[in-house]
Amino acid sequence: MAHFMDVHHGMQGITADQLHQAHQADLAIEKEENVHFERAWADPESGTVYCLSEGPSAEAVQRIHERSGHKADEIHEVPLSV
């Protein structure tokens, strides 16, 4: 499985509770695409949200995000990590 970092823009003012709810919405259906969302981070001031996931493809990650109501603006495969 590959790792992906996706980026969402335009989420100024997002709260910790809203970030948690969005992450939970992804977790609730992630298995349908064989994806696992590992973690999410947010900067409420800039409105940027980052999600780290593992899955078969960027398209599978995007399908989960779209279905849970928050399509990613960018998805980057992360081929190396330590």
DSSP 1-19: -EEEEEEE---TT--HHHH
Segment 65-76 mean pLDDT: 98
Structure confidence by residue, pLDDT tens digits, 18-54: 999 999 999 999 999 999 999 999 999 999 999 999 9
In the prediction, which pLDDT does 37 show?
A: 98
For residue 62, what pLDDT band results from cuts at 50, 70 and 90? Answer: very high
Segment 58-81 mean pLDDT: 97
Domains of the chain from N-terminus onward: 2-77 (3.30.70.3090)
In the prediction, which pLDDT does 58 show?
A: 98
List residues bridging with 25 in a β-sheet: none
Q: Which residues contact 20 (CB under 8 A, 6 or more apart)?
A: none
Whether 9 contacts 48, CB under 8 Å: yes
